[in-house]
Amino acid sequence: AHVAEASRPLRILVVANQKGGVGKTTTAINLGTALAAVGERVLLIDSDPQGNASTGLGVPRAERRVTLYDVLMGGTPLLDAVTPTRLPGLDLAPADPDLSGVEIELGPEARRSFRLRDALEAVRASGRYTYVLIDCPPSLNLLTVNAMTAADAVLVPLQCEFFALEGLSQLMRTVELVRGSLNPRLEIQGVVLTMFDRRNRLSEQVAGDVRSHFGETVYQTVIPRNVRVSEAPSFGKPVLVYDINCAGSQAYLKLAREVVQRERARREAA
Ligand code: ADP
Ligand code: MG
C-alpha cells in the first residue's frame, strides 16, 4: 500500500458551475488549502479572467508575471507560471484579465480545446503534485471546456438557493458533450452544497431536492454560510489560514477528507 501511495497518479479536478457567485472560487481556494493541510501537494490553476483565486491567495496582479494566458496562448510551460503561496503544499498558476481574450484569439483552431490538457502533461510528468484544482469562470466557454478536457473529474459547487437545480442540468449536458468528444474519462467527483443557512427553510428544501436528485454524488459535507469565509479573501488568505476554528474552515477540512476518501475508494475499485 505504501508503494501504491508513493506512485499515486495526479488527479485533476475542475471546479465548475456556469452560475456566478455559487462558491467556485471559495471552494477552489479552501479545498486546495485543506487538501494541502492533510498532506496533499496541490496546484491551483486560476482559469477565470477575474483572477479572484489569485487575489484570494494573496498574489496581487503586480506579482503575476507569468499567467495562464501565457501558457494557453504563448506556449509558456505551465510550471513556469507556478508561484508558491504562503501555504506549504499549495501552489498557484495565476490568471489576469488577458485571459478573457483566449476565446476570440484561439478562433477555430483545431486543438483549441486541448491547450490546458497539453500544458498539464509536463506537470503530470514532474510528479510535483497529487492534486490539481482548476477554478473556472462563470460560463461554459472555451476556458471551461479546456478545463473539462484536461480534467479527470468535475466538482460542482451548488448554492442552496431556489434556481440551483436549473443550471445544473445545463452543466451536466456540457459534461456529457465533453465526455462524448473531447474527454471520455471525465467523471463527476461530486456536488457540494455551499452557503447553507440552517435558519433558512429554503436551504433545507434545496438541499433535500438536490440529494434526492443526485443521491450519493452529493457530498455529506455541507459548507455553511459563514462570514469568516467571505472576509478571508480581502486579507489575501484562505479561510483556513484566516481562522482555522470557524465553521467554514472546519467544513472545508471535512470536504477535503471526503474528496480524498472518494479518490481512495475509486483507486481501490479500479
Ligand atoms: P464564484 O467563484 O462561483 O463566482 P465565489 O466563491 O467568488 O463564487 O463566492 C461568491 C461570494 O460569496 C463571495 O463574495 C464569497 O466570499 C461568498 N461566499 C462563498 N462561500 C461562502 C460561504 N460559505 N459563506 C459566506 N460567504 C461565502
Ligand atoms: Mg469565481
| Residue 136 Cβ contacting ligand 1 at under 6 Å | no
Confidence check: pLDDT of 165 > 90: no
Domains parsed from the chain with CATH numbers = 2-269 (3.40.50.300)
User: Mean pLDDT in the chain?
Assistant: 94
What's residue 122's pLDDT?
A: 97
Q: How far apart are CA 27 and CA 251, in angstroms?
A: 11
Instruction: With beta carbons less than 8 A apart as the criterion, state whether 186 and 152 touch.
Output: yes
Tell me: the pLDDT tens digits for 9-43? 899 999 999 999 999 999 999 999 999 999 999 99
Tell me: the pLDDT tens digits for 61-70? 999 999 999 9
3-state DSSP assignment of residue 132: strand
Q: How far apart are CA 254 and CA 259, in angstroms?
A: 9
160-169, 187-196, 258-267: lowest mean pLDDT where?
160-169
Q: Which atom from ligand 1 is nearest to the alpha carbon of 28?
A: 6
8: DSSP letter:
P
Q: Read off the pLDDT band of 7 (50, 70, 90).
A: low
Q: Which atom from ligand 1 is nearest to the alpha carbon of 22?
A: 3
Distance from Cα 24 to the centre of ligand 1, integer Å: 7
Q: How far apart are CA 204 and CA 120, in angstroms?
A: 39
Beta-carbon contacts of 62 under 8 Å, excluding residues fewer than 6 positions away, are: none
Q: How many helices (H) and strands (E) does the chain have?
A: 13, 8
Which DSSP string do the residues of 158-180 spell out, in sequence order?
A: EESSTTHHHHHHHHHHHHHHHHH
Confidence check: pLDDT of 158 > 70: yes
| Residue 26 Cβ contacting ligand 1 at under 6 Å | yes
Q: What's the pTM?
A: 0.96
Probe residue for ligand 1, chosen from 17, 26, 54, 158 as the CB with the greatest number of ligand atoms within 8 Å: 26
Beta strands 90-93; 83-84: pairing state: antiparallel
Q: Read off the pLDDT band of 266 (50, 70, 90).
A: very high
* Residue position matching grid coordinates 435558519: 199
- Which grid cell sits at 115? 491547450
Closest ligand to C-alpha of residue 51 is 2
What's residue 1's pLDDT?
A: 42
The phi-psi region of residue 14 (left if phi > 0; otherwise alpha if psi is between -120 and 50; otherwise beta) is beta
Mean pLDDT of 107-126: 94
Instruction: With beta carbons less than 8 A apart as the criterion, state whether 255 and 192 touch.
Output: yes
Mean pLDDT of 91-117: 93
What's residue 166's pLDDT?
A: 83
Closest ligand to C-alpha of residue 196 is 1
Instruction: With beta carbons less than 8 A apart as the criterion, state whether 47 and 146 touch.
Output: yes
Distance from Cα 174 to the centre of ligand 1, integer Å: 23
Tell me: the pLDDT tens digits for 179-203? 999 999 999 999 999 999 989 999 9
What's residue 4's pLDDT?
A: 46
Q: ipTM of this model?
A: 0.99
| Residue 23 Cβ contacting ligand 1 at under 6 Å | yes
Tell me: the pLDDT tens digits for 68-94? 999 999 999 999 999 999 999 999 999
Beta-carbon contacts of 182 under 8 Å, excluding residues fewer than 6 positions away, are: 113, 114, 145, 148, 149
Tell me: the pLDDT tens digits for 208-243? 999 999 999 999 999 999 999 999 999 999 999 999
Q: How far apart are CA 193 and CA 168, in angstroms?
A: 12
Whose C-alpha lies nearest to ligand 1, atom 26? 230
Q: How far apart are CA 176 and CA 251, in angstroms?
A: 30
What's residue 31's pLDDT?
A: 98
5-9, 179-183, 245-249, 261-265: lowest mean pLDDT where?
5-9
Distance from Cα 268 to the centre of ligand 2, integer Å: 33
What's residue 237's pLDDT?
A: 95
